[in-house]
Structure 1
Amino acid sequence: MSTATLPEGDWIRGISIRQPYETCILAGAKTVENRPGRWRTGWVLLHTSKTVDRAALRIPLIGRTIRDRQLVTGAVVGVAWIIGCHQDPEGAPLCSEWAHPGAWHLVLDDVQELPLPIPARGQLVPWKPTPDLQERGFQQLPAFRP
């Protein structure tokens, strides 16, 4: 398997997201991730936290989206491009059925799922993936070009 030539330096971050929300992103349905603060645009490794929001499994929108998909936890499972980050004005309609009022909305695009999850630790805040973790992920996406 060939390895993509990737840029050097500080160009990618990791983002940890609880299940089942991460699986909704990988399925292509959830294009907005809610966060308490602003994030910069750019590439992120998608990491699943070790916990599952069990109450969310009863939400019909989520149930339909994740049907027959495995809820991997504690691993990097993909990569995505944050194309924007905004808050919807108070009283205005939300930008997505996935958006929460008052949260910062990270708008995700070009989501690519890894064929094999990579066990890893993450954080709620943006975190810097190790070079080894980046290499292991991008070996699974040989056509990836940032």
Structure 2
Amino acid sequence: MTTAPERPEVCALTLWQPWASCIAYGTKRIENRRWATDYRGWLLIHAGAILGWARLDDCHQDDGMCTLWSAPGQWHWHLADVHRLARPVSCPGARGLWTPTPALLDLVREAARA
């Protein structure tokens, strides 16, 4: 019997600026996507560098009842427990949700302690 690999403990999402900074500073709590995800958990916020992280706690289709950041017709990813790094960690990104390497996670943890 084969088993599916376990989900990563942490995922990352590459965004355009200024949206990534708006999330990292805690002013934007909804990320609009054309696609849904069933992933829930910690999400590194990336735009040329890891700017911070947030907890992705919900994802639902536009219901017309969300915040001013919510775009009509999009999937709304709800972000909570946002943390910003004082010094971003430079790294390449990827499209979609991507899994950070253990080395990158170590650098982010180190930057978070600084």
Partner of 1:83: 57
Shift of 1:47: 0.3
Residue 129, structure 1, aligned to residue 100, structure 2: yes
TM-score normalized by structure 1?
Answer: 0.68
Compare the two structures and name the one with the higher strand fraction: 2
1:28 partnered with 2:13: no
- How far is the alpha carbon of 1:131 from its aligned partner? 0.5
Q: Which runs of 5+ in 2 are unaligned?
A: 1-6
Where does residue 42 of structure 2 map in the other structure?
43
Counterpart residue type for residue 79 of structure 1: W
| Long gaps (5+) in structure 1 | 1-8, 49-73
Partners of 2:10 and 2:41 within 8 A in 1 = yes
Aligned length: 106
Identify which of structures 1 and 2 has the higher relative contact order when contacts are C-alpha pairs closer than 8 Å and 6+ apart.
1
Which structure: larger Rg?
1
Q: Distance in 1 between matches of 2:68 and 2:54?
A: 20
Instruction: Report the alpha carbon displacement of residue 129 of structure 1 after superposing the two structures with TM.
Output: 0.3
Q: Which runs of 4+ in 1 moved over 2 A?
A: none
Q: Partner residue of 1:60?
A: none
Q: TM-score, normalised by structure 2?
A: 0.86
Match of 2:4 in 1: none
Once residues 141 and 121 of structure 1 are traced to their aligned partners in structure 2, the CA distance between those partners, rounded to angstroms, is 19
Query: What's 2:111 paired with?
Result: 140
Q: Deviations over 1:11-69 (max 9, x none)?
A: 11110111011111122111000111112211111101xxxxxxxxxxxxxxxxxxxxx
- Partner-residue secondary structure (3-state), 1:141: helix
Q: Is the 8 A contact 1:114 1:141 kept in 2?
A: yes
Residues 43 and 82, structure 1, Cα contact 8 Å, conserved in 2: yes
